[in-house]
Amino acid sequence: MEVQIFGTKKDSGTRKAQRFFAERRVKTHFVDLTQRAASAGELQRFAQKFGVQALIDRESKRFRALGLGAAHLPDERWLAKLVEEPLLLRMPLVRNANQLTVGADEARWREWTGR
């Protein structure tokens, strides 16, 4: 089993995910969104399961800095914006094969690991 974690080193949810899987000796592949943005295809996979709106962190500093509070964009535009501005994403995004989570979802991770 290997999980892929999308997030930033400064994000507490991302650190929680990394710690959770490390404690269970699960191999992880960390994608630091400050170094490399998630691809449109990867984000589309999460959007198909949860919806684009669930991926947007409306409480983030970047969301406020860009003044997106009053923005009413179609999902396609939001998806493009998330590719351009990965700090708008709700983190961490975690993928285990075809299983996905958005945000810190320890209950789901326990199901995956059986612990």
- State the CATH number of the domain containing residue 66: 3.40.30.10
Q: How far apart are CA 55 and CA 24, in angstroms?
A: 27
- Number of domains observed in the structure of the chain: 1
How confident is the prediction for the chain on average, in pLDDT?
A: 94
pLDDT computed for residue 115 by the predictor: 73
pLDDT, mean of residues 6-14: 96
Query: What is the average pLDDT across 14-32?
Result: 96
Residue 22 belongs to domain spanning: 2-113
Model confidence at 62, in pLDDT bands (50, 70, 90)? Answer: very high
State pTM to two decimals: 0.91
Nearest to 109 by CA among 80, 101, 34: 101
Give the mean model confidence (pLDDT) for residues 37-50.
Answer: 93
* Each residue's pLDDT tens digit, 66-106: 998 888 889 999 999 999 999 999 999 999 999 999 999 99
Report d(CA 67, CA 96) in Å as an integer: 34
Residue of 63, 47, 57 lying closest to 91 (CA atoms): 57
- Torsion angles phi and psi, residue 21, rounded to 5: -75, -35
How sure is the predictor about 108, in pLDDT bands with cuts at 50, 70 and 90? very high
